[in-house]
Chains A and B, each alone.
Chain A
Amino acid sequence: MFLALKELRHSKTKFMMIAIIFVLVSWLVFILAGLGNGLSTLAASTFKTMDADYVVFEQGSKSSMSKSLLSNDLTAQLAEMPNVDAASPMGIIMASAIKGNSENANEDKVDIAIVGIEPGSFLQPEIIEGTGLTSGQMTNVIVNETMKDEGFHLGDTFELDGATESLTIVGFVENQTYNHVAAVFVPIEEWRKVAFAAPGSDKGITDPVNAIMLKGKDIDSNAINEQLPGTDTVTRAAAVQGVPGYKEESGTIIMMLAFLLVISAFIIGVFFYVFTMQKSNQFGIMKAIGAKNGFLSKAVVSQVFVLSLTSIIIGILLTYGTAAIMPQGMPFMLDIKLVITYSIVLLVISLLSSLVSVRTILKIDPLKALGRVE
């Protein structure tokens, strides 16, 4: 630490340059991580925040709600399965809402995802304003709070485009989006009316639903698949992956992040390697007067540590600064856990890359100190 800090203080410009590069890299890493998190939340937060552990789909639906159709009769059977604490059906359909009394109906449409659930079941999210769903009032719905920004208020009634149904907002929930649009929770019977308005679209299934959500730890999905032919039980995480576009979206972000992390490893690694090569004569002298490899290696590693830690902290501050001035519509969501994870990853990567320099130090011959090796 002694040598490391002395040198950092003495050669400020040199270290400042590499610090700036590393600040920029970590800044970008945090922004991308925040965007990725925001996007995936938008795409599937209804699934992610749901209090369910497993999802039962129709066999062959590849964990996609829109491809799956099951009969609600299965719910009762599933609830009896071992380790299942509760089972509840769910259906999702994309639609658009027309703001009530709008003169310009075609332009004032808002995309929504209608999520059918059983009123009062564990699938109903926490209400932050108003009341929850009631079985008697089929057209009373709860919606995501982002619809407030679109001009919807508590007690408003809106029509669905291309359907005869009109729904009344009785409550608001937060962080409930699906496929990047606000979720509108309706009683499952109301959802059936919207989803299967066309005759025959329910394929003759009684009480059709898209999927049945299960609550309970250690549910044996294979046993369920065997006992109930035609079903496919997956974990909630797998169901999230099945949301259309989700995998592709998060895959893109993860690829960029992976590249950035590899790049940062090389930047730090190569930079300190070149430094070490430059200083090999100096290290040789110190070895000649008795410095051990550990003493010199510690100097380089602690230098990398101090430099990366400082850069990462500055990067975090800049990221929060950026988030503060970002436009409202940007799906940017940075939580502490994510920041800490990526900070540790960046730190570990830079420390690992400094091992290249350590290897160089080990190979330096103290004979160099004498200036002329014969």
Chain B
Amino acid sequence: MASGLQIISASKYYSEGSERITALDQVSIQVEPGEFVAVVGPSGSGKSTFLSIAGALLKASEGEVILNGTNISKLSDKQLSDIRLHEIGFIMQASNLVPYLNVMDQLLVVKRMSGKVSAADKAYAVKLLEELGLGAKLKSYPEELSGGEKQRTAIARALINDPNVILADEPTASLDTKRAHEVVSLIAHEVRTRRKAAIMVTHDERLLTYCDKVYRMEDGKLSLAALESVH
């Protein structure tokens, strides 16, 4: 497979005292471009570990992660940081914007991480923000934004480098129902129109209607859940 995200029987072990904890147990998943996948499960089930491994933040103890055709399991920290910058868009919990940057700069700082900011980058950032309904907020700081606006900024930030994979970590954690639906439908829309492979980790089951597949995580094991059962 050439694009998208593929994880082949990845496991992650931690040692806690003399015990060996299995956080992830032989997890395999494949997400195609344009596919929006949800992972649900109780806390402590290994969702975060799963997302960290998919997001090149953590190396699996066993198994392989293939991102857009590249096996990232053996890369160095520096290379992983490049992969994160160019191939992965993270959407994190609401408070995870840089407090002293305005909406426009939140996007441009990502561009700056890989070098200079060109006029085309700026134009693209403005276009992206306008598409996400933030055209009037370009110069606003995170403290002046509502929770929904912050999350839309985070979505724009995740898309600025045109990555192949979008990973969302509880993107609706601090939002009310209306805003949560708004944000997730926006993510789903962007994922489908831009052909991204997307994974959302959540425990908000109301939002699963937007997803193509739902996986359930339990004690480190990932299993496909029938969509009907969660709807």
Contacts and interface: CB of A to CB of B under 8 A. Distances in A.
Nearest to A289: B90
A291 B170 CA distance: 22
B169 A371 contact: yes
Contact of B84 (A10, A288, A372): A288
B57 A366 contact: yes
Closest 7 CB pairs of A and B: A290-B85, A10-B100, A290-B84, A7-B100, A291-B113, A285-B96, A292-B81
Interface size class of A (residues with CB under 8 A): 20 to 34
A282 B90 contact: no
A290 B113 contact: yes
Interface residues of B, number: 42
B57 A367 contact: yes
A313 interface: no
Interface centre among A9, A289, A371, A372 (most CB of B within 10 A): A289
B86 interface: yes
Contacts of A372: 43, 48
Contacts of B109: 2-3, 286
Q: Which DSSP category, helix, strand, loop or mixed, fits chain A's interface?
A: helix
B110 interface: yes
A373 B48 contact: yes
Contacts of A320: none
Contacts of B57: 288, 366-367, 369-370
B52 A367 contact: yes
B105 A370 contact: no
A11 interface: yes
B92 A371 contact: yes
B99 A282 contact: yes
Contact of A292 (B49, B51, B89, B113): B113
A238 to B, nearest CB: 54
B127 interface: no
B130 interface: no
B85 A6 contact: no
A282 B157 CA distance: 15
Interface in A279-295: 282, 285-292, 295
A290 B82 contact: yes
A150 to B, nearest CB: 61
Contacts of A370: 48, 51-52, 57, 92, 169
Interface in B148-180: 157-158, 161, 169-170
Contact of B81 (A3, A10, A291, A369): A291
Contacts of A6: 100-101, 105
Interface in A147-180: none
A107 interface: no
A286 B81 contact: no
Contacts of B96: 285, 369
Interface centre among B14, B48, B86 (most CB of A within 10 A): B48
Given A372-B43, A374-B44, 13 more contacts: A6-B101, A6-B105, A10-B100, A286-B109, A286-B113, A288-B84, A288-B90, A290-B110, A292-B113, A366-B84, A369-B96, A370-B48, A374-B48
B23 A369 contact: no
Nearest to A287: B81
B46 A374 contact: yes
Nearest to A10: B100
Contact of A369 (B43, B46, B90): B90
